[in-house]
Amino acid sequence: MAAECFMEQGFHATSIDDVARRLGATKGRIYHHYPSKIELFFDVHRAGMELLFSAVEPASQVDGDGITVLAAMLEAHAMAILEHHTFESVVAQGVQMHRFGATTPAQREILNELIGSRDRFEAMFKKAATTARKDGTLANVDISIAVKTLLGGIQWSLIWYRPQSDTGPKSRRHLAEQMVKTLVDGVRARGNTQAASAPAPARSTRKRG
Amino acid sequence: MAAECFMEQGFHATSIDDVARRLGATKGRIYHHYPSKIELFFDVHRAGMELLFSAVEPASQVDGDGITVLAAMLEAHAMAILEHHTFESVVAQGVQMHRFGATTPAQREILNELIGSRDRFEAMFKKAATTARKDGTLANVDISIAVKTLLGGIQWSLIWYRPQSDTGPKSRRHLAEQMVKTLVDGVRARGNTQAASAPAPARSTRKRG
DNA sequence: GTCTATATGCTGATAGAC
DNA sequence: GTCTATCAGCATATAGAC
């Protein structure tokens, strides 16, 4: 499936001719397999979601306390995003497309199905966070907002990650580990410094200069 | 400036007629002020970046240790993103556009300038993180990756945030606080549980079932 | 300054040859 | 199944009236 040009230019900027050219063929071939451009897009979207599920579901079954499971899921997600960033860019586009755009009722229905799977995906992380809460291993945060923020921290790598600067699975693993460490443990130093006990960030806007 | 329809449908899916209609006018008006569609887009992008700078720069001057300053900057950034999410969506699109697309050398040059300001923006956060490191208030993370992850966690709200479900500045403030708390303090419970001392997430994939 | 045509090119989709 | 025309519609941009 060479339909990953959607990633490079976006759905609207990508013409069927572009896809066909990259495939070394002409439009005829594509329209033989797909009735319309948007259904091709949906298919890529669907494949992207399946890749995410098959990466994260096993991770949700690891042994350990709540936060350990959540961290494993996040790392699996991060690895999947980096490895299949072409597909996952399309997924992200689909989410935005759902938010507005989709015109015909038929398209709307398919999009709803895809967004539904997206919601089930997020629910997996919420469930893991809830388990960690009961566990006592989750910090005192709003689970819904926290999960969106965690996933966002990882998914934003779709924007800045450049695969060509990648030397292979090892550097991807390093990236994934660092992202997850940042998100799970935070950037505030742990331990017995005075900063670690302050519960909320200061909001004074008094200036120095 | 009603050119925020770029946010709703994206650059390519938005026609000049769309923008003009929302403005209660016709194309003539727009082409009188802007020579082309992409220059209109660039102008919105530029405005979006200025909004970010004028939100975060004051926050970088608050009193406090390194992590406190960083947290204040993140919260200011989050508030700006939520308040001006239309403009910031355009900024995000511009980043992706830069990654590939931009065809003519003239467009490329303008985009480079805009992306340059984006890099200066990120550098502010890296500088604050470096200060916090010297401070001892920053956790042991890769600063470059951590900053990208922190900003990503906030910026992903561009995708899921629905302004209509917003009851005003107060709920935005709540969202911003929760996002920053999640990012700065992490989701792992702090304190004297056994989990808090484990440095890295487990990577065993042994299943239960 | 703002509007109403209008030119020009591109793109999604179709029909039919091979 | 895949390719080569080809149609029809739409979008950027321009020219000129008011």
Asked whether strand D has any atom less than 7 Å from the CB of B38, the reply is yes
pLDDT tens digits, residue range A101-144? 677 888 898 999 999 999 999 999 999 999 999 999 999 999 99
Question: What does the pLDDT average to over B189-206?
Answer: 52
Task: Identify the CATH number of the domain defined by range B46-185.
Answer: 1.10.357.10
Indicate the pLDDT class of residue A8, thresholds 50, 70 and 90: confident
CA B205, B201, A137, A144 torsion-angle sign: negative
Boundaries of every domain in chain A: 42-186
User: How many angstroms separate the CA atoms of B54 and B50, rounded?
Assistant: 6
CB B107 within 8 A of CB A170: no
CB A70 within 8 A of CB A128: yes
pLDDT of residue A200: 45
Minimal Cβ distance to A141: which of B63, B146, B187:
B187
Residues β-bridged to residue A207:
B62
User: How many angstroms separate the CA atoms of B80 and B180, rounded?
Assistant: 13
Asked whether strand D has any atom less than 7 Å from the CB of B107, the reply is no
Stronger pLDDT, B65 or A99, i.e. the higher one:
B65
* Through-space separation of residue A181 CA and nucleotide D10 C1' in angstroms: 49
Q: How many angstroms away from the CA of B28 is the closest CA of chain A?
A: 24
pLDDT of residue A135: 95
Give the residue ranges of DSSP H helices in B84-156: 85-99, 105-135, 143-155
Q: Give the DSSP letter of residue B60.
A: T
**Protein-proximal nucleotides of chain C (any atom < 7 Å from a CB):** 1-5, 10-16
Indicate the pLDDT class of residue B191, thresholds 50, 70 and 90: confident
Any long-range contacts for B157-162 (C-beta under 8 Å, 24+ apart)? B157/A148, B157/A149, B157/A152, B157/B78, B157/B81, B157/B82, B157/B85, B158/B81, B158/B85, B158/B88, B158/B89, B158/B92, B159/A92, B159/A95, B159/A96, B159/A99, B159/A152, B160/A148, B160/A152, B161/B82, B161/B85
Q: Model pTM?
A: 0.91
pLDDT tens digits, residue range B124-150? 999 999 999 999 999 999 999 999 999
pLDDT at B195 over 60: no
User: What's the number of CA atoms in the CB half-sphere (13 Å) around residue B73?
Assistant: 26
User: How many angstroms separate the CA atoms of A89 and A107, rounded?
Assistant: 19
pLDDT tens digits, residue range B1-43? 666 778 888 999 999 999 999 999 999 999 999 999 999 999 9
Stronger pLDDT, A80 or B195, i.e. the higher one:
A80
* Through-space separation of residue B108 CA and nucleotide C8 C1' in angstroms: 25
CB A207 within 8 A of CB B58: yes
CATH label, A42-186, candidates 1.10.357.10, 3.40.50.10470, 3.40.50.300, 3.20.20.100: 1.10.357.10
